[in-house]
Chains A and B, each alone.
Chain A
């Protein structure tokens, strides 16, 4: 039973390019959360998605960032026109039912470096 998968594990982009981060939740999980971790800090919530729906995007910057979780395939976090301040580790987590009493399982993260 594979855990949460994220790819790529490391991503280097130049300023102005686009970054696409992928997250495949655990088998059977239909709820995905994205978090961002800046160096030496804790994780900050970005967005919560269910299949084909964005449920809570209160932590997502209004510009340049978007997320989706299609009916088939992984969840995608997309950052357009990246800037140096986007350099961070991006983690996704999944859970089965969306109940707040359930444990979220985290992926290994994608470390984005913007040159």
Chain B
């Protein structure tokens, strides 16, 4: 079964608004990572949050992790058209570093 499940599947907002994406997972994790993928391109690493961390910031990104609920959220503030992409969460539950990805959230930011 899928480890990471994200919602919403698709999100459309206006430039300047905030975008929130959620990720739920099933098993205990070492860390959780968020990636961005532009259409037809590779993955860009955004942020990694460890299991003993609750919140992390990077520029306009804010990630939270609630291990009791087995969930994480990614907030993009003051969105820009260039933020249009698919966003994936990925969990690391092994001792080998292999990642289990969610299905992704497709974000469209309208100028």
A100 to B30, CA, bound (A): 7
Question: Are B43 and A100 in contact (CB-based, < 8 A)?
Answer: no
Instruction: Give the number of residue pairs across the A-B interface with Cβ within 8 Å.
Output: 69
Q: Among the listed B30, B88, B92, B95, which residue makes an inter-chain contact with A42, where contact means beta carbons less than 8 Å apart?
A: B88
Binds A, one of B61-69, B73-81, B96-104: B96-104
- Total contacting residues, chain A, CB less than 8 A: 28
**Interface size in chain B (residues, C-beta < 8 A):** 27
- Interface positions of A from 85 to 100, Cβ below 8 Å from B: 91, 93, 95, 98-100
* B85 interface residue per 8 A CB criterion: no
Contact check, A33 vs B98: say whether CB atoms are below 8 A apart: yes
Decide: A43 and B33 in contact? CB cutoff 8 A. Answer: no
Residue in contact with A55 in the complex, picked from B42, B96, B99, B104, CB distance below 8 Å: B96
Find B104's partner among A42, A56, A91 (CB 8 Å cutoff).
Answer: A42
